[in-house]
Amino acid sequence: DTAVSQTPKYLVTQMGNDKSIKCEQNLGHDTMYWYKQDSKKFLKIMFSYNNKELIINETVPNRFSPKSPDKAHLNLHINSLELGDSAVYFCASSQTTGSNEQFFGPGTRLTVL
Amino acid sequence: SQKIEQNSEALNIQEGKTATLTCNYTNYSPAYLQWYRQDPGRGPVFLLLIRENEKEKRKERLKVTFDTTLKQSLFHITASQPADSATYLCAYRISSNTGKLIFGQGTTLQVKP
């Protein structure tokens, strides 16, 4: 019954490694997002896709590359991980870009050692 | 740039009392303000939305106000319960073309029995 799911829940890795986080929504929504929540709890948008098309690309290092194979999936690949990438990453979805309510996944806690 | 400020200090109240959380925004005049609840280890969950032409919105024990002159929204929980303990995030959408939300850092509410 999960609406927005992410895997893995926890990710611990060494600096310099490459890792991916996967997200899937079964709500039939057109729009998906990636957010980063830092240690101070600020939730900041990173990327947004609408029907597999990139529509938001905030000032994020190009080591971060989102991919949307279909509108139900939005994955995040991170190259050459750095200590500062440690955070909780949330995937979210909304019916459309004009919808007010966003549905969030459970988050992926990334720790870079 | 657009900014939302919430009281970063935790709010501790006694069960049964009314909790009041504050959200102030600058450099933008949002048409809507949203409130989300976030429990530890989970993603935010949408609670309420209030439009700029609505002074007050209620949902069960929740009440939200929106003062466009003061650039402020207040979030009230009446007859608070320990189960209301969580972090509450205020947000507004700055673009209906992209769905981009700007979040405050949240206020943590602790309701003591």
Domains annotated on chain B, with CATH: 3-78+86-108 (2.60.40.10)
When the pLDDT of each residue in chain B is averaged and rounded to a whole number, the result is 92
Neighbours of B68 (CB within 10 A): 15
Domains of chain A: 4-112 (2.60.40.10)
Judging contacts by C-beta atoms under 8 Å, the chain B residues touching residue A107 are 41-43
SS3 at position B84: helix
Judging contacts by C-beta atoms under 8 Å, the chain B residues touching residue A103 are 46
Residue A1, pLDDT score: 66
- Taking residues A85-108, what's their average pLDDT? 94
Q: Which one has a higher pLDDT value, A57 or B79? A: B79
Q: Which one has a higher pLDDT value, A90 or A42? A: A90
* Spatial separation of the C-alpha atoms in residues B44 and B100, rounded to whole Å: 15
Residue B30, pLDDT score: 85
- Taking residues A72-87, what's their average pLDDT? 97
pLDDT digit string, tens, across residues B46-66: 999 999 889 899 999 999 999
Instruction: Of A6-15, A38-47, A75-84, B74-83, give the lowest mean pLDDT range.
Output: A38-47
Between chains, do B43 and A92 touch, taking CB under 8 Å as contact?
yes
* Partner residue opposite A100 with nearest CB, options B34, B44, B45: B34
DSSP of B5-54, one letter per residue?
Answer: EE--S-EEEETTSPEEEEEEEES---SEEEEEEE-TTS--EEEEEEETT-
pLDDT band per the 50, 70, 90 thresholds, residue B2: low
Scanning the structure block, which residue is given the tokens 């947000």?
B91
Between chains, do A94 and B98 touch, taking CB under 8 Å as contact?
no
- Taking residues B97-103, what's their average pLDDT? 84
Measure in Å the smallest separation between the Cα of A110 and chain B Cα atoms. 13
Q: What percent of chain B is predicted at pLDDT more than 90?
A: 73
pLDDT band per the 50, 70, 90 thresholds, residue A100: confident
Measure in Å the smallest separation between the Cα of A64 and chain B Cα atoms. 18
